[in-house]
Structure 1
Amino acid sequence: MHLNEAHYGGMHLIWWIIWMVLIIWIFATPWSIPGQRAKKDSPLDILKKRFAKGEITKEEFEESKKILNASK
């Protein structure tokens, strides 16, 4: 009587798989989308920003840069 219902079960499973892949892709994307996780700045990037803002002098920047490059 209900012979055709078996075909819909497989399609239902495929849609669940598609939705799960889509949800995992949305939350696992490393791109910097507004409201999402942002990549962390490296110590050298932070040093450059501080120098650009005028928080440290050129001498302090050069000395810190040497220390960071020596630790690599």
Structure 2
Amino acid sequence: MVYMMGGGLFGLLIIGLIVYIIVERSSHGHAYREGYPIKNDALDILRERYARGEISDEEYEKKKNLLKN
């Protein structure tokens, strides 16, 4: 009787571990990059475009002011 309960608990532990690993892998692939949450709000995207040189200083300032209002 005790062995059956232990085996059942071990089975539940294995299932829980598998679910935990699947959830962790999927969340890191979509919501996190190197442990930090990915923020994709408009101001962050604007900063990234400016840093890559895709937009000029004037365009960056103009759009930044529009987004802050």
Question: Common fold, TM-score beyond 0.5?
Answer: yes
Structure 1 CA distance, aligned partners of 2:12 and 2:39? 32
Unaligned runs of 5+ in 2: 32-37
Question: Given residue 14 of structure 2, which amino acid in structure 1 is its aligned partner?
Answer: W
- Tell me which protein shows more helix as a share of its residues: 2
Q: Could you state the TM-score of these two structures normalised by the residue count of structure 1?
A: 0.64
Q: % of aligned pairs identical?
A: 33
Deviations 1:9-67 (CA, angstroms, capped at 9, x unpaired): 1112211221222222222234x3xxx22445222221111001110011111121122
Q: Could you state the TM-score of these two structures normalised by the residue count of structure 2?
A: 0.66
- Tell me which protein shows more strand as a share of its residues: 2
RMSD value, Cα: 1.9
Query: Runs of at least 4 residues of structure 1 off by over 4 A?
Result: none
